Amino acid sequence: MFRQVELVFQNIVMRKLLYLSIPALFFYLNTLQAQELFTNTNVQLAYKKQTRTPAGKPGKNYWQNRADYKIDAHFNPADQLLRGSETITYFNNSPDTLTQIIIRLYPDLYKKGVKRSVAIADKDLNAGVQIDDFKIGQEKIVNFADSPKAFHDNAIVLIKPENSILPHSKTELNISWHYEVNTGSPIRTGMVDSTSYFIAYWFPRISVYDDIDGWDTWSYNGSQEFYNDFGNFDVSVTVPQKFVVWATGNRQNAHDNFTELILNRLDAAQKSVEIIHVIDSADYTKDQVLKKDASSVWKFSASNVTDFAFALSDHYLWYASSVLVDSSTGRQTLAEAAFNPAHLDFFDVASQAHQSVAYMSHFYPKYPFPFDHITVFDGTDQMEYPMMANDNPEEHRKDAVQLTSHEIFHSYFPFLMGINETQYAWMDEGWASIGESVISPKMGEPEDEGIFSKGRYEQISGTNRDVPLITNTKQYNESAYRSNSYGKAGVCYFVLQDMLGDRLFFTALHQYMNDWKGKHPVPYDFFYSINSGSGKNLNWFWDKWFIGWDFPDLALKSVGQSAGKTAVTIENKGGLPLPVYINIVMKNGQKSIQKYTAEAWKKGNRQMTIRIEKPLSSIASIELGNEFIPDKNKSDNTWTSLKK
């Protein structure tokens, strides 16, 4: 009876499909595909409004807002006071009338009384961002404790302007502010040494309003990372005369500050694959870095980026070289390191940056590096920014290589792809983790555990500290944040490539990147874009890796003999689809590996039996797994013959 009903239903569906156009047919089939995965109501509404599609592409009604920033900043390390004024041009490209606007004040992490999840030393607690002037349109706002009009709450300010921001309109905001830069407690920003600083998350900016969540009201607490709109930045930074500034964006007035000697070396670096010492120690001693009449105003311009950071020092060396990143156009990227000569590991970082950019462009993810330069600054953290990295010095080259490649890989995720790191940290940290793990061995420094943070994931997987990857990152505890966002996601991308094969994997990945670069993808856009690009319905895979509670635990259940051959039964105790690598050692010393991709578990089976074309009596040992495959319990992964 049930089979007859099923056949009738199939006949009805097929008759309907005959009347659909080809595009409509694909949309219909992809909609059926999307319904196989749990999909939250926010994304379902986006499908209904056609801002996104179940095929993993932006919909015909896709929109995103943007803000362009023209900023004039002044910073003096003598008193740590940063003053700024900015004009923000905000484009409301949405179909919605905005009755409020949210301003982010990231430096308020250091404000007394603010809720935070990180420790701040008493000496670094301050009054936070002081707004000296604020105007939206023609309306001036002076009271930020008036909840019906303007309300300052933790690290955000909610403004309700007199005139709502209409759909498809632009609004101008003018803001002046100042705050004291932290000299300790460096949470992604602050003093490096008494005359070196890395300044990040430093200017008032408009929060994201998108088609999934509306306004992003999350208040920065020091843990979860960031979600920002794309925009153009025109920034000038004024510092005391002896300082050099590095920043996001392209230099607009290098000739106003550098001597001809430094300008010539910089020009040489932009044409050379060899490392050029743009500034060396002797240049400071001989006072030949800056012109006698240097303006001390450093101007930068960046187009379509999500953030802007800058750094300064009066004694840092500067090494740089040029990398061909796009063979079809000849486009090149300047790979740079700015560093304290006391930190010996940094003398090699410019070379590591050069190699990282080259490998990323041509090997993994095999996609041209998206920016004109990347500067690794010798700092106090391990943090990425568009065209900049704030990296602490390391004692060992291995750690320096892995850190450099990891932070530079973020140029793709989240900066080419406008990822909401606050909610979906795995969408960028997972890629940086697998990127680091693939590229570092190319520089002679492989990960000890195969994939960065794999061990952390193994440790908490299957326990009450574990949560599905799809869980909003804001809800993660610290151990889940690190193990899932880095380890599990990185392993997942490895397993995906192992299953699809290199050609299909990169085809699908590049489709996702091309569809969503300069936009704001969410997890379902990633899932369905990879499905579409690979031509495979991988929902069974996404369900297990991202939505379910399955964990990595394979075991050798039995080893026996059948018809003169060896039969090995593998049990998937944890349920997570993993590759099966059977490492065989013969009694004569010969070794071999039999491999099966994660697709072996596609049908939901918990066991598989494979045959080794050798009699059991000739085999010395069988071991399951390799360094890239996590396993919660490795004690049941080995079989050893009792007979020699």
**C-alpha–C-alpha distance, residues 515 and 25, integer Å:** 21
Examine residue 39 and state whether it is found in any structural domain, yes or no: yes
If asked whether residues 207 and 159 sit together in one domain, one would say yes
Quick one: DSSP state of residue 109? G
Nearest Cα neighbor of 246 from 271, 218, 279 is 279
User: Does the pLDDT at position 147 exceed 70?
Assistant: yes
Per residue in 121-136, pLDDT tens?
999 999 999 999 999 9
My answer on whether 38 and 187 are in the same domain is no
Q: Are residues 38 and 135 in the same domain?
A: no
Q: Which amino acid is at 232?
A: N
CATH of the domain at 207: 2.60.40.1730
Residue 594's alpha-carbon distances to 24, 148, 581, 622, 623, in angstroms, are: 43, 67, 6, 11, 11
Are 79 and 200 part of one and the same domain?
yes
Task: Decide which of 8 and 562 is more confident.
Answer: 562
The pLDDT of residue 22:
45
Tell me which residue has tokens 């890629």.
431
User: Can you give the length of the chain in residues?
Assistant: 644
Provide the residue range defining the domain that includes 37. Answer: 2-49
- Tell me whether residue 450 is in a domain: no
Of the residues 287, 315, 343, which one is the last residue of a structural domain?
315
**37 shares its domain with 100:** no
Residue-wise pLDDT for 596-633, tens only, equals 999 999 999 999 999 999 999 999 999 999 999 999 99
C-alpha span between 318 and 343 (Å, rounded): 13
In angstroms, the CA 441 to CA 322 distance is 22
Considering the domain boundaries, does residue 585 fall inside one?
yes
76 with 23, same domain: the answer is no
Is the whole-model pTM more than 0.85?
yes
pLDDT reported for residue 275: 98
Mean pLDDT of the chain: 94
- Sign of the Cα torsion 362, 365, 370, 376 reads negative
Domain assignment of residue 38, yes or no? yes
**CA–CA dist 209, 195 (Å, integer):** 38
The answer to whether residues 171 and 107 belong to one domain is yes
pLDDT digits (tens, 9 = 90+) for 525-560: 999 999 999 999 999 999 999 999 999 999 999 999
Listed range (15-29, 204-218, 391-405) with the worst mean pLDDT: 15-29
Average pLDDT for 498-513: 98
Q: Are residues 45 and 79 part of one domain?
A: no
Residue 311 inside a domain? The answer is yes
Any domain includes 610:
yes
Residues 238 and 143 in one domain: yes
Mean pLDDT score, 588-603? 97
User: Does residue 489 fall inside a structural domain?
Assistant: no
Mark whether 210 and 70 lie in a shared domain: yes
pLDDT at residue 141, as a whole number: 96
- pLDDT band per the 50, 70, 90 thresholds, residue 644: low
Q: Report DSSP state, residue 487.
A: I
Q: Which among 298, 163, 290 has a CA at the least distance from the CA of 239?
A: 298
What CATH number is associated with residue 574?
2.60.40
Q: Which residues contact 475 (CB under 8 A, 6 or more apart)?
A: 467
How many domains are contained in the chain? 3
What pLDDT does 549 receive? 96
Q: What is the mean pLDDT of residues 268-288?
A: 98
In the predicted model, is pLDDT for residue 35 greater than 50?
no
Residue in the structure block whose two tokens are 């003999």: 561
Whether 600 is in a domain gets the answer yes
Whether 148 and 193 map to the same domain: the answer is yes
What does the pLDDT average to over 335-348? 98
Residue 100: per-residue pLDDT: 97
How far apart CA 481 and CA 431 sit, in angstroms, is 15
One domain for residues 26 and 164: no
